[in-house]
A and B are shown apart, each in its own frame.
Chain A
């Protein structure tokens, strides 16, 4: 019953450091996405993928990279972390054709000092 699994759950970085947030799903979903959640702003889409080898930008893509080499995995990379990237990050997945019925991971809280 794993669903969507995110790691790590918590991370503290210094400005300029790089890191990767991992996301894996075991439901064979074609669609995967990354959101960030900030107080008073709801969730905002960073990047998404409609299948292996296909990625696209969302609303707030700057400072983040993604790749989708397999159906199961969709890592989010921060190449040079900035304090503005302090946030809670959520990975989500769904089957194509079920627009909006997303399954979310438990979130990764990132603090950039």
Chain B
């Protein structure tokens, strides 16, 4: 079946620190992979995506590379800001036809000045 495992939080970093949030997946077939971000009091927003192996998704300084050999899609950012404080969700898409997403449990990031 399809599932996503991401690192437990919460994660607390100082401003300008390097961020890595680990995500591994199990899937049948060849899923697309996503990172969504949820700011306090809001719904989820798509942060970045990758649709095939070795693709790199990037947005707002965040990057993640689709690694089929390690079934991973780790999120990285070289220098975090206070405004990056949010909950980050790794997700995969079932390509069976419907646009259903399978989410990880989320990782809460707090960036302190």
Residue ranges of A at the interface with B (Cβ–Cβ < 8 Å) = 4, 31, 33, 35, 40-45, 48, 50, 56, 58, 90, 92, 94, 96, 98-102, 104-107
Contact = CB atoms under 8 A, between A and B. Distances in A.
Interface in B64-113: 89, 91-95, 97-106
Nearest to B90: A42
Nearest to B94: A99
Given A102-B44, A102-B46, 19 more contacts: A40-B105, A42-B89, A42-B106, A45-B102, A48-B99, A50-B97, A50-B98, A50-B99, A90-B44, A96-B99, A98-B99, A99-B94, A99-B95, A100-B92, A100-B93, A100-B99, A101-B34, A101-B49, A104-B45
Contacts of A104: 43-45
A28 to B, nearest CB: 15
Given A99-B95, A100-B49, A48 B43 contact: no
Nearest to B92: A100
Given A104-B45, A106-B42, A42 B98 contact: no
A45 B106 contact: no
B11 to A, nearest CB: 15
Contacts of B32: 99-100
B43 A4 contact: yes
A101 to B, nearest CB: 6
A40 B44 CA distance: 16
22 contacts: A40-B105, A41-B105, A42-B4, A42-B103, A42-B104, A43-B44, A43-B101, A43-B103, A45-B100, A50-B97, A50-B98, A90-B44, A98-B99, A99-B94, A100-B32, A100-B93, A101-B99, A102-B99, A105-B43, A106-B42, A107-B42, A107-B43
